[in-house]
């Protein structure tokens, strides 16, 4: 820093008041800032061409199974950017933010109606944080009742965050295998349901895209054992207006607002994972709680039995605004969202199951899992890469782990029949290519700006100092390799 300040003093006459003595290697000190002298149109074209390399749901079909990457209406984006909502300070007095508090209170009421739960907390910033909160509440509940229950039952088709959240709370997880129809094996479940089991965590429909056929029996067995039922609501896009998790016997559920209720969530965020609970667990929810009192909305900090705050303020407010707008725009017709999502998924499944293997040949919910195992090892990855040449984002591959060479496909309700038909034609064409000209699929993609990368090496041996050389024409060289700078 000393060198930089000396340079700035010589060139600008400015020298900081503070005497900061942080020596940096001379070779990394920039002596000049070379800026290209280019026209406006060249600059605009440069950045527009860069943006065209990005894939987004606004550009094409995004069948990312278990993530509900659907098109989100732009009106919800506009409402989240309203000046009165966008510029709110989180420490504003309650009297100054009555509209925002009313919005969040009404959103809680809507989520209660959709799920059947009695109370909601909007604090969790993601589904995994909603899970964490649910397990924290479970532990607090049994501690209050002087019971020691340290085990959680989770099916082998669960999202990975389920056992991870349990481990963070120092709970022991017991994996229950799936049966021949893709349900949680009921006999294994009964054997594992011991008095020290505090919670059963289920995704319904599960990650195979299948509705749990034994859900009522499972929840009754759990209740008779004094065990709580937790629903991972990541797949709620299949159930809106059709069935409520409470009616299935669940005591808690988190909802991924950024999946089911309209928020673009590529690039790692933003998200929101509100947790809903039945009345006997309401006092354990984080504070503050939003309550309506004498036609006024206030933040209630009465701790009751609360497990404590898990997120600053009241969560990701802009995501809550989008969800509110989405739910209000659908109103009582929100059932159509799930009906169309289920219809689209079963349409695709029917047109593809004769070419690819279907491990569980049942009517699916909003997503389904095919297997390319008959095409050999790594065939799922090869197919995913080849889909890029057809202009489609690949589906989730190799998940859930119980299906070999899994292709997990979720079309959502927002895709047209024409788009789905083109996707089917692409997958069927790739299956033919594997038989007739396998090298084309094995070396895919061929039309993208960068060819196939070594994902394993990138994940296990990342080197963030590697750079791509900048030379005219390099941007069109799909075989360009990352080059390591000279050692200094």
Return phi, psi of residue 151, to 5°: -110, 145
CA distance 255 to 248: 16
C-alpha distances out from residue 476 to 141, 448, 469, Å: 60, 9, 13
- Cβ atoms 321, 315 nearer than 8 A: no
> If we measure between CA atoms, which residue out of 347, 409, 420 comes closest to residue 209?
409
Average pLDDT, stretch 43-47?
Answer: 93
Residue 229 host element (H or E): strand 228-233
Average pLDDT score over the chain: 90
| pLDDT for the residue numbered 472 | 46
In DSSP notation, 431-468 reads HHHHHH-HHHHHT---SSSS----HHHHHHS--TT-B-
Model confidence at 276, pLDDT cuts 50, 70, 90, reads very high
Give the span between the Cα atoms of 296 and 119, in whole angstroms.
19
Distances (CA, A) of 197 to 48, 142, 419: 55, 11, 46
Does the pLDDT at position 74 exceed 60?
A: yes
Q: What is the pLDDT of residue 18?
A: 54
Of 13-17, 52-56, 160-164, 175-179, least confident by mean pLDDT is 13-17
Instruction: Look up residue 97 and give its DSSP letter.
Output: -
CA distance 364 to 379: 23
Question: Which residue carries 């759990």 as its tokens?
Answer: 222
**What mean pLDDT comes out for the span 225-229?**
98
What local confidence, expressed as pLDDT, does residue 283 receive? 96
Q: Summarize the confidence of residues 21-26 as an average pLDDT.
A: 77
Whether 482 shows a pLDDT value over 50: the answer reads no
pLDDT at 469 over 80: no
For the chain, how long is the longest CA-to-CA vector?
Answer: 80
More confident residue, 267 or 363: 363
Q: Across the beta sheet with 252-255, what order do the strands follow?
A: 119-121, 275-277, 252-255, 228-233, 197-203, 151-155, 172-176
Between CA 58 and CA 92 the distance in angstroms is 36
Alpha helices in 184-332 (DSSP H): 186-192, 215-224, 257-260, 317-330
Which pLDDT score, from 0 to 100, does residue 19 have? 55
Would you say the C-alpha torsion 343, 345, 346, 347 has a positive or negative sign? positive
**C-alpha distances in Å from residue 406, one per residue of 132, 356, 396, 435:** 28, 10, 8, 19
* Mean pLDDT on 114-127: 96
pTM (two decimals)? 0.86
Kindly report, residue by residue over 399-411, the tens digit of the pLDDT.
999 999 999 999 9
8-state DSSP, 266: G
397 beta partners: 407
| Alpha-carbon distances of 184 from 161, 232, 469, rounded to whole Å | 18, 15, 52
Task: Provide the angle, in degrees to the nearest 10, between the axes of the packed helices 161-168 and 127-144.
Answer: 40
Q: How many helices (H) and strands (E) does the chain have?
A: 16, 12
Among all chains, which residue has been given the structure tokens 């002596």?
A: 31
Cα separation, 132 vs 126, whole angstroms: 10
475 pLDDT above the threshold of 50: no
Mapped onto helix, strand or coil, the DSSP state of residue 30 is coil
Is residue 386 within 8 Å of residue 444, measured between CB atoms? yes
Domains of the chain: 2-40 (no CATH), 74-332 (3.40.640.10), 336-442 (3.90.1150.10)
* Whole-Å CA distances, 386 to 268, 393, 427: 25, 10, 9
| Lowest-pLDDT choice from 231-235, 311-315, 467-471 | 467-471
170 contacts 121 by C-beta, under 8 angstroms: no
């Amino acid at each position: 820093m000393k060198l930089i300040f000396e340079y700035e003093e010589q060139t600008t006459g400015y020298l900081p008041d503070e005497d900061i003595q942080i020596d940096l290697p001379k070779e990394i000190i920039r002596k000049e800032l070379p800026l290209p002298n280019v026209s406006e149109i060249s600059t605009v074209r440069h950045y527009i061409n860069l943006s065209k390399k990005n894939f987004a749901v606004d550009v094409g079909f995004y069948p990312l199974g278990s993530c509900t990457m659907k098109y989100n209406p732009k009106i919800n984006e506009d409402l989240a950017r309203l000046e009165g909502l966008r510029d709110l300070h989180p420490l504003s007095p309650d009297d100054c933010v009555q509209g925002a508090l009313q919005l969040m209170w009404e959103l809680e009421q809507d989520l209660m109606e959709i799920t059947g739960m009695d109370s909601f907390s909007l604090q969790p910033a993601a589904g995994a944080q909603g899970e964490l909160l649910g397990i924290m509440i479970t532990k607090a509940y049994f501690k209050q009742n002087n019971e020691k229950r340290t085990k959680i039952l989770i099916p082998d088709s669960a999202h990975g965050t389920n056992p991870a959240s349990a481990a963070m709370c120092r709970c022991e997880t017991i994996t229950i295998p799936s049966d021949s129809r893709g349900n949680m094996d009921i006999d294994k479940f009964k054997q594992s349901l011991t008095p020290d089991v505090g919670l059963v965590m289920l995704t319904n429909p599960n990650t195979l895209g299948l509705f749990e056929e034994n859900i009522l029996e499972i929840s009754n067995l759990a209740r008779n054992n004094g065990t709580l039922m937790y629903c991972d609501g990541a797949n709620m896009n299949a159930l809106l207006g059709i069935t409520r998790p409470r009616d299935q016997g669940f005591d808690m559920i988190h909802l991924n607002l950024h999946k089911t209720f309209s928020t673009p969530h590529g690039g790692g965020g933003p998200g929101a994972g509100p947790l809903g609970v039945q009345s006997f667990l309401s006092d354990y929810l984080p504070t503050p709680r939003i309550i309506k009192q004498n036609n006024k909305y206030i933040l209630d900090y009465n701790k009751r039995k609360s497990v404590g705050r898990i997120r600053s303020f009241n969560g990701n407010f802009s995501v809550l605004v989008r969800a509110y707008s989405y739910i209000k725009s659908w109103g009582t017709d929100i059932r159509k969202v799930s009906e169309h999502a289920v219809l689209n998924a079963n349409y695709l499944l029917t047109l593809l199951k004769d070419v690819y293997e279907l491990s569980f040949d049942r009517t699916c919910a909003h997503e389904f899992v095919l297997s390319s195992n008959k095409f050999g090892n790594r065939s799922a990855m090869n197919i995913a890469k080849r889909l890029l040449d057809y202009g489609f984002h690949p589906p989730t591959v190799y998940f859930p782990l119980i299906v070999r060479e899994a292709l997990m496909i979720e079309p959502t309700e927002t895709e047209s029949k024409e788009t789905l038909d083109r996707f089917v034609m692409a997958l069927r064409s790739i299956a033919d290519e594997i038989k007739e000209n396998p090298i084309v699929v094995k070396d895919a993609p061929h039309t993208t700006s960068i060819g196939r990368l070594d994902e394993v090496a990138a994940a296990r041996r990342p080197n963030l100092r590697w750079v791509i050389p900048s030379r005219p024409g390099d941007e069109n060289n799909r075989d360009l390799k990352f080059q390591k700078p000279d050692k200094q």
